[in-house]
Amino acid sequence: MHFFRIYILPGFIFQSVVIGGGYATGRELVEFFFAAGPIGGVFGLLVSGLVFGIVLAVGFEFARVTRTYDYRKFCHELLGRGWFVFEIAYMIQLLLVLSVIGSASGKVVESSFGLPPLVGTLSMMALVGILTFNGSEAIKKVLAGWSILLYGVYVILFFLAFKTFGGVISDTYAQAPIGEGWFSSGILYSGYNLAVLPAVLFAVAQHSKRKETVGAGLTAGALAVIPAVLFFIAMMAKYPEIGDQPVPATYLMSVMNISWLEIIFQIVVFGTFVETGAAMLHAVNLRLEGSFAEQGKHLPRLARPMVSIGFLAVAIFAAEKFGIVNLIAKGYGMLTLVFIAILIIPLMTIGVMKIMRKETANAE
C-alpha cells in the first residue's frame, strides 16, 4: 500500500487531470498528432511521456524541498513576484478545460442514453461539487479507483479494435510514412498539459525523500501516456476520417458496433470528465484555503462546491457559444507556449538551481 500511495497514486491523479481535458474525447490527439501521421503520432506521444516524467519529477521534488503544495505558494517560490502570471494563465486554462468537459459530458449522455445534453452537463457539475466538498482524501480515492477502471477499459478497447479492424490498422501503419513534426508536437502537447502540475501537488504532500518524488514523477509520465498511445492506435481503424469528428471516441465506438463496450466506455469517459474538473477545481480551493489560513481564517467547507459550480457555469456558457472543436483548436494552441515559458522553463532552470541550493544547505 505504501508503494502504491508513494509511486503510483500521484501518476493516477496526474493522468486523471490530463485525460478528461483532452484525450478522453480523442479531440486533443487529433489536434496535436494527426498531422504527424499514424507512426509519427505514436512517436510524438512517447516524447510527451518522457517530458511528462522528467518535468513532473523535478516539480514534485521542488514542491518537497520548498514545502509548497498549493499552486500559489509553489509559483511564488518559483517565479517570485511574477507568480500571478501563472494564476491568470491557469484560470484561462481552467475555464477552457471545463468548457471542453462540460460540452463533452452533454454529448456523451446524449449519444449513449438519448437524454438531453443538459442532463449530462448538470450531472457532471453535481458530481464535481460533491467531490470538491469532500476534499483531498476523497478525491485521491475516487481518482485512483476510477483510473484503474479506466486502464482496464482502454486495454479492452485496444484489443477489440484490433479484433474488429486489425487488418485495417495494420495496413494503415504499413503504408503510412513517418510524418514530420512529431517531436515538436510531443513537446507542445506535454507543455500544455503540464500546466496542471501545480494542481496535483497535494498528491505528493507526504513524500519525504528525493527517490520518492523522482520515482513518482517518472512513473506518472508513463501512466499518463500509455492509455493515449493505445487509444491513438485504435483510432487508426478509421484514419483519417475520424479526425473530422467532434468527439472521435464516440465515433469509434459507433463504428465498432459493440454496444456493451460503447456504454461502458462512455460511462468511464464521463467519469474522467468529473475527475478532471474535480482535481483542477480542488487546486483553486486549496489556493483559497492557503490565503484564508494566512489571515488566520478558514475557508467555509460549503464554499468549495460553490466555487466549483460557479467556474463550471461560466465555462459551460463558453462551450455552448464557441463549440468544442474551436475551443480545443484555438484555445489550447495559444496557451501551450505560455505555460512552457512561465512554468516549464523556469522549473527546469530556476527550480533545479533552488533544489541544488537546498541540498547544499542541508549538507552543511
d(C-alpha 12, C-alpha 222), whole Å? 10
Q: Which residue has the cell 477545481?
A: 281
Window from 35-49, 257-271, 306-320 with minimum mean pLDDT: 306-320
If you average pLDDT over residues 345-355, what whole number do you get? Answer: 94
Output the pLDDT for position 361: 67
Residue type, 246: P
Which one has a higher pLDDT value, 17 or 172? 172
**DSSP assignment of 306-338, as one string?**
HHHHHHHHHHHHHHHHH-HHHIIIIIIHHHHHH
d(C-alpha 162, C-alpha 156), whole Å? 10
Output the pLDDT for position 21: 56
Mean pLDDT, all residues of the chain: 85
Which of 152, 201, 142 has its CA nearest to residue 10?
201
pTM for this prediction: 0.87
d(C-alpha 264, C-alpha 251), whole Å? 15
The answer to whether residue 286 scores a pLDDT higher than 80 is: yes
Confidence band, pLDDT 50/70/90 cuts, at residue 74? very high
Output the pLDDT for position 328: 56
Show the domain range for 11.
Answer: 2-363
Output the pLDDT for position 355: 92
Binning the chain into helix, strand and coil, the percentages to the nearest 5 are 90, 0, 10
The answer to whether residue 343 scores a pLDDT higher than 60 is: yes
Confidence band, pLDDT 50/70/90 cuts, at residue 362? low
Q: How many beta carbons lie within 10 A of that of residue 331, not counting itself?
A: 20
If you average pLDDT over residues 148-169, what whole number do you get? Answer: 89
d(C-alpha 138, C-alpha 262), whole Å? 28
Query: What number of CA atoms fall less than 13 Å from residue 154's CA on the CB side?
Result: 25
How many structural domains are present in the chain?
1
Produce one character per residue of 280-317: b if its CB has 16 or more CB atoms within 10 Å, e if not. Answer: bbbbbbbbbbbeeeeeeeebeeebbbebbbebbeebbe
Which of 188, 211, 191, 190 has its CA nearest to residue 57?
211
Output the pLDDT for position 309: 83
pLDDT, tens digit, for every residue of 163-196? Answer: 989 999 999 998 888 888 999 999 988 887 888 8
- Residue 58 neighbours by CB under 8 Å, 6+ apart: 217, 347, 348, 351, 352, 355
CATH code, 277: 1.20.1740.10
The answer to whether residue 345 scores a pLDDT higher than 80 is: yes
d(C-alpha 121, C-alpha 102), whole Å? 5
Which one has a higher pLDDT value, 342 or 101? 342
